[in-house]
């Protein structure tokens, strides 16, 4: 292989995986929270709430990230409304270091999502790990998990100006379904809804 070709390949080499959160990885997650990153793009208070939870009960915190039977407490929406939790789980995006999180949730009957749930899958990459293809790869890996829980398609939503997230979805076979108005809990802003078929 010519030398330059090898260099170009390693620059594009994407090595992240999605992992079940564990005690061994927890210090890296805490460091990201302490560095000002929030796993919730909409509710930044979540970072402080999670740090307090981890301090109090690290095992319970980790267990709550893996909840395919929706045993956890109700979810709080950005406007403070509390709604029943859907089955779901989070994975941590990892390349030897903590890179971000990706979550999957689904209605127990595998039917349509309730209007206050903005998509089956959500993700965020910490700023220092962005633009390496990690969100694109993590979504691809999570689609395999979505098939395993019996979903025939997933919906994802983005803000209308979130070009990066839209590229991540399109690169994974997403098709734009509609421009829509978000539920009142999200201030009725405009969003884009995409769909990925899982054949």
- Tell me which of 47, 86, 117, 135 binds ligand COA, using CB under 6 A: 135
- 138, 100 contact by CB (below 8 A): yes
Binding of residue 116 to ligand COA (CB under 6 A): no
Number of residues that bind ligand COA (CB under 6 A): 19
Q: Which is nearer to ligand COA, 135 or 151 (CB)?
A: 135
**Residue closer to ligand COA (CB basis): 71 or 190:** 190
- Is the Cβ–Cβ distance between 146 and 121 less than 8 Å? yes
Which two structure tokens, joined as six digits, stand for 112?
Answer: 């349509």
User: Is 171 an interacting residue with respect to ligand COA (CB under 6 A)?
Assistant: yes
- Give the Cα separation of 143 and 36 in Å (integer): 29
Which sign does the torsion angle of CA 170, 164, 139, 12 carry? positive
Query: What count of other Cβ atoms lies within 10 Å of the Cβ of residue 185?
Result: 17
Q: Which of 43, 116, 167, 195 binds ligand COA (CB under 6 A)?
A: 167
- What whole-number distance in Å separates Cα of residue 71 and Cα of residue 17? 26
Closest by CA position to 153, among listed 99, 111, 109: 111
Q: Should residue 165 be labelled a site residue for ligand COA when binding is judged by CB under 6 A?
A: yes
- Cβ closest to ligand COA, residue 50 vs residue 165: 165
Minimum distance between the CB of residue 77 and ligand COA, rounded to whole angstroms?
16
Q: Where are the beta strands (DSSP E) in 42-189?
A: 66-67, 75-76, 82-83, 88-94, 98-105, 121-125, 153-159, 175-181
Tell me if 55 contacts ligand COA by CB under 6 A: no
41 binds ligand COA (CB under 6 A): yes
- Tell me which of 38, 162, 195, 198 binds ligand COA, using CB under 6 A: 162
Rounded CA-CA distance 172/21 in Å is: 24
- The answer to the question of residue 163 lying near ligand COA (CB under 6 A) is yes
- The residues binding ligand COA (CB under 6 A) are 41, 123-125, 130-136, 158, 162-165, 167-168, 171
């Amino acid at each position: 292989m010519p030398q330059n070709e090898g260099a170009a390949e390693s620059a594009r080499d994407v090595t992240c995986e999605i992992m079940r959160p564990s005690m061994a990885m927890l210090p890296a997650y805490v460091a990201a929270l302490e560095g000002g990153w929030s796993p919730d793009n909409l509710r930044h208070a979540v970072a402080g709430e999670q740090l307090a939870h981890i301090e109090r009960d690290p095992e319970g915190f980790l267990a709550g990230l893996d909840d395919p039977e929706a045993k956890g407490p109700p979810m709080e929406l950005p406007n403070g409304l509390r709604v029943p939790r859907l089955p779901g789980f989070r994975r941590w995006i990892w390349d030897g270091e903590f890179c971000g999180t990706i979550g999957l949730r689904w209605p127990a009957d595998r039917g349509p999502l309730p209007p206050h749930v903005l998509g089956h899958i959500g993700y965020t990459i910490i700023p220092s790990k962005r633009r390496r293809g990690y969100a694109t790869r993590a979504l691809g890996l999570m689609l395999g998990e979505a098939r395993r829980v019996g979903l025939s398609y997933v919906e994802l939503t983005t803000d209308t100006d979130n070009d990066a997230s839209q590229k991540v979805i399109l690169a994974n076979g997403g098709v734009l379904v509609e421009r829509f108005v978000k539920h009142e809990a999200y201030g009725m802003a405009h969003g884009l809804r995409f769909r990925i078929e899982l054949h």
